[in-house]
Amino acid sequence: MIPNNLHANKNSDKIKASEVFKRALKPPLRDSRFWAVQFTVLLITLIHYYLDVTKVFTGSPWSSIPVFVLLLPVGYAAIKYGLHGSAATSVWSTVLWIPDLYVSSDRDARAFGAIAIVVVNAVGIIIGERIERELLAIAKAKAAQEQQRISEARFRHLFASTRAPILLFDEHGKVVNANPAAWGVFKNKVLDLTFADICNMSITGVFKGKNPTNIQLDIDGQTVEFRCLISLVKENDIYVTQLLLQDITEERRAFKDVKAFASSLLDAQEDERLRIARELHDDPLQAVIHSSRQIDSILIDKEFQLPGNQRTVLTKTREELLKTARSIRSIAQGLRPPSLEHLGLSAAIKGLIADLEPEFGSSIKFVQKGEEKRLKLEVELAMYRICQESLQNAISHAKANSIEVELAFQESTVFLKVSDNGVGFDSVSNIDDKRLGLRGIRERVSLLGGNFTISTKESSGTTLTVLIPTDIYSK
């Protein structure tokens, strides 16, 4: 603990002059000893006036001696109260002594008296100002100590009452203190543990800026996962490393449930798309094709002698049916492209690009790098949907005149990039709130354990990249 006077010496020079002189305007009027000092000044003044009346020291320098005696009460007021005591005492002394300067007929005595009262005032102000600074510094030091004491008390209360295990480690990584929750988790061996025993890394790694990962502990036969939160705290005037273990078991379980639900939702969506695609192909498409073929047979059968206008109507009807058939086939393939299962991801993306180029009004560049590897079907389907959504966004919203798709099969990852030179976004942070399609892309990538990034600037185009680890390659 640092002594109060040392705090005062260090801090006294930092006290602002305005603080010191502001206190000079507030004398300690409620202190009886302050009034005793003022009475002493009055008594000394009366004695001086008595000596003047009796002419004991008339014409002698000794006549100013009572004035210098005022240094005693003024100095005491300065030492006891600081400037706000000495200033009031100096003013009181001056007020009482001024009449003597005008009444006295001895010019030398008046001169000595004036000099003496100036000296008394100067001594009172100088000593009082210095003492005032010391008193203010001591008061601030005490306030800081009190604030520290309150903070430490709050910390100890939180330390003891929190339900999360908290351990304090010295510079060598040895446990020096633990809260009741930590004793409940680690039992009687808590003080025998080291930082490395709990976090699987040395405490010097923390000083170098490294953070331990989440840890799992076996508590009463159940596996509990904790997040490690590290900070430096002051314990008995020294800094120690605090490790707070935040139970995230339920959080992890809820995250896994949400992730499983999202995965099952996407699977159900794809299953429904597959079912609709098959039903479109098996029923409406076949019915339309069958109808067009019947009209075909009527038009080429010579037994049907149709007027010219009826033959024209049937010919147009046949063309509309074929157009409808192509539209149904296109919708069915968009719902679940057959090429994805039979030919792979690269061929499916090429087919997608060929279907979208008429809508875009220009060619879409496709670049493949590396030798293609077949992925698990659900992964290929997810990558296809990501590319499909990205291209639709670029065509519908970006107002681009150039789009490029890059698909790279690397040694440890599969990489997809879709870039355009369109209008871009004004803020990447607001994309998820505005575009449900991009939120779907982010969710798909998260379920695959990959990375998803968007780089964009307003009027400078958009680039979407997806990187998936190789453990999703099919065996």
| Per-residue pLDDT band at 207 (split at 50, 70, 90) | low
Residues contacting 162, CB < 8 A, separation 6+: 179, 181
When mean pLDDT is compared across 161-165, 411-415, 457-461, the lowest value belongs to 457-461
Question: Is a pLDDT exceeding 90 seen at residue 406?
Answer: yes
- pTM for the model stands at 0.49
The superfamily CATH assigns to domain 339-472 is Histidine kinase-like ATPase, C-terminal domain (3.30.565.10)
Asked if 4 and 141 count as a contact pair (C-beta separation under 8 A), the reply is yes
Q: What is the pLDDT of residue 5?
A: 43
Burial of 412 (0-12, 13-18, 19+ CB in 10 A): exposed
What φ, ψ does residue 409 adopt, rounded to 5°? Answer: -100, 100
Q: What is the mean pLDDT of residues 231-241?
A: 77
Comparing 172 with 6, the larger pLDDT belongs to 172
Nearest CA-CA partner of 23 in 86, 83, 101, 75: 83
Architecture of domain 162-247: 2-Layer Sandwich (3.30)
Q: At what angle do helices 4-12 and 107-161 cross, to 10 degrees?
A: 120
Residue 367 pLDDT class (50, 70, 90 cuts): very high
Among 28-32, 266-270, 336-340, 417-421, the minimum mean pLDDT is found in 266-270
Find out whether 215 and 199 touch, Cβ atoms under 8 Å. Answer: yes
Neighbouring-strand partners of residue 79? none
State residue 9's pLDDT score. 44
Please report the sign of the dihedral spanned by the C-alpha atoms of residue 293, residue 298, residue 303, residue 308: negative
Q: Would you state the pLDDT for residue 263? A: 66
Question: Which pLDDT score, from 0 to 100, does residue 227 have?
Answer: 85
Closest CA to 452 of 435, 473, 468: 468
What one-character DSSP code corresponds to residue 376?
Answer: P
| pLDDT score recorded for residue 264 | 74
Mean per-residue pLDDT over the chain, rounded: 78
User: Amino acid letter at 10?
Assistant: K
pLDDT beyond 90 at 366:
yes
DSSP E strands: which ranges in 365-412?
A: 365-369, 403-409
Averaged over 341-363, what is the pLDDT?
Answer: 86
Domain locations in the chain as residue ranges? 4-155, 162-247, 273-336, 339-472
53-57, 224-228, 427-431: which range is least confident on average?
427-431
- Please tell me the least confidently modeled range out of 45-54, 164-173, 411-420, 441-450: 45-54
Q: What length does the chain have?
A: 475
pLDDT at 8: 43
Q: What was the pLDDT predicted at 108?
A: 67
Q: Among residues 103, 91, 93, which one has the least CA distance to residue 67?
A: 93
Portion of the chain with pLDDT greater than 70, in percent:
79
pLDDT digits (tens, 9 = 90+) for 42-89: 888 887 777 766 765 555 555 545 667 888 888 888 888 877 788 888
Taking the C-alpha atoms of residue 181 and residue 161, their distance in angstroms, rounded to an integer, is 8
Which pLDDT does position 13 carry in this prediction? 47
